[in-house]
Chains A and B, each alone.
Chain A
């Protein structure tokens, strides 16, 4: 099943079990229905509203619905548009969050246009920055586990959060995992595998790259611990730093363009825990990102393992690729 079909099924299921929710946004029930994300919503189970293009007011309206104790989800074509509603993410939320809104709920589901070739605009993927402004709960859906735990549990849960989905992944098979994942909860760092030679952590939508590195390590007869966090907000990294202290090596794969992503905090905490070999693969803002290009987050797995001294090459204490 494709990434978008999997999400669409979860969204429709969540709507069916919610209490008369409101689902709104531009083209949520028209045209391609956001490339299939909101296709087939049961109009008898929800108030479905195709709205005008009013991002600031649409975010404010979501909070107004939440204040009225209604369950609401705003589906937004692309994260860049959310910049128009930042006042509400901060100022409105700071008033609403201190009130008892009962079962009132507001979720923004936004598509990150990370499919490339958009040019200098329309490629924002810095949700951690937006979440940081007012300590908003934020999630990225990078695989089936994220989708099931976040959409299944959070879409109409009381309170406010932002859920981020990747356009690059829409038509591809939903990334899965063959083994058990613990813990199976939103807003948690989940362990996908236990290994002895290095610790790998995926952030935002970098799960694919993390799995590639994990498989590459296996190819060199190495075993890796694999973690992923679907949270873009505050994260308890204790499980990861403890594992990295044991393996002695940590690789953070972080495809956001933020300079203050959770990965930076993890790197600091790992070093404080005595992990000296920390590689933080991340994006840098260079000229290439400001013109049409593939916008891909690419990792040289062999070079990464070599830099950690795992391929009988000199070890480097800190490398930022």
Chain B
């Protein structure tokens, strides 16, 4: 049972990784005019959130949403067409990438404005409660957005109106081109959660089964206690590269933020980094090379037919 569940989650992690790699290849080929924000390295948390969501749960996202959208609805062709603003895309070619939402997959709202979704989430959660639904509203944000006042406001609002929310903070240590230590003092989210008397979890290690179990428990707690719950998850956004310039002939690290990840190549396979910052590397510690290759093949098939 335990192994079956891990296998299923692993396949979904690989699907989200491979789906993003296909999107990256299409982006390299110039297929999209809209800005694409990949989330390579964020696959485990996306799969775990999707796994924890039950019927009627809602998920609100940010501009970096492709991993969650793939986890909730693996149809890659819909995304590719949407990003090309094709009327047959998943959102009829009207939203592009940064606002891509999919109400049928439980994603009613995706905002490209920093911290914007956080303020909408208590309203969704409150609305669901008023309609008598015993469900949770998940909202994803990043370590840059928690600097905005809306982060604190939404937690306080959610706690004050007994909103069953799970706030997921993807902490990759970066906001655009600055790392946390370059722009602000550290923020201890556990202490913030304590101050507001809300449950808190911190996850790291990219184990999808571990993540899924914690998410499921946190969701249940949020519903049972009618409270927001706060989850901080440490992620490494992969796809960085070294850029050589006349001023920096030794090369300068370019952190991946948006657009093409030039060093990521689909034909080299899904592994991008040989450390636990890469969820695929974590899977390699759990599965044999042969089993992982078979899972990757199934994952690729789960994304559906993709036209060339």
Contact = CB atoms under 8 A, between A and B. Distances in A.
A69 B133 CA distance: 13
Nearest to A60: B119
Contacts of B122: 57, 60-61, 64
B161 A68 contact: no
Given A87-B116, A95-B111, A60 B161 contact: no
A64 B108 CA distance: 10
A25 interface: no
Given A22-B126, A67-B109, A95-B99, A59 B161 contact: no
Interface string A138-165: 0000000000000000000000000000
B180 interface: no
Interface stretch (A4-12, A47-55, A119-127, A265-273): A47-55
What secondary structure prevails in chain A residues at the interface with B? helix
Contact of B116 (A49, A60, A69, A98): A60
B157 to A, nearest CB: 5
Interface string B106-133: 0011111100101111111111101100
A47 B130 contact: yes
Nearest to B99: A95
B73 interface: no
A95 B123 CA distance: 15
A81 to B, nearest CB: 13
Nearest to A96: B109
Contacts of A72: 123
B127 A67 contact: yes
A314 B150 CA distance: 58
A60 B120 contact: yes
A95 B98 CA distance: 12
B153 A68 contact: no
A19 to B, nearest CB: 10
A191 interface: no
A91 interface: yes
B123 A68 contact: yes
A91 B127 CA distance: 20
B237 to A, nearest CB: 24
B157 A51 contact: yes
Contact of A64 (B113, B127, B160): B127
B116 A65 contact: no
Contacts of B111: 91-92, 95
Interface in A102-139: none
Given A51-B161, A57-B154, A95-B111, A67 B130 contact: no
A68 B116 contact: no
A62 B123 CA distance: 6
A174 interface: no
A51 B123 CA distance: 12
Given A61-B123, A65-B123, A52 B157 contact: yes
Contacts of A70: 126-127, 130-131
Contacts of B160: 51-52
22 contacts: A20-B130, A22-B130, A56-B119, A56-B149, A56-B153, A57-B118, A57-B150, A59-B119, A60-B119, A60-B120, A63-B120, A63-B123, A64-B126, A65-B124, A67-B120, A67-B127, A68-B123, A70-B126, A88-B119, A91-B116, A95-B99, A99-B108
Interface of A: 20, 22, 47, 49, 51-52, 54, 56-70, 72, 87-88, 91-92, 95-96, 98-99
The 3 residue pairs across chains A and B that have the minimum distance between CB atoms: A64-B123, A68-B127, A60-B119
Given A20-B130, A95-B110, 4 more contacts: A60-B116, A66-B123, A95-B101, A95-B109
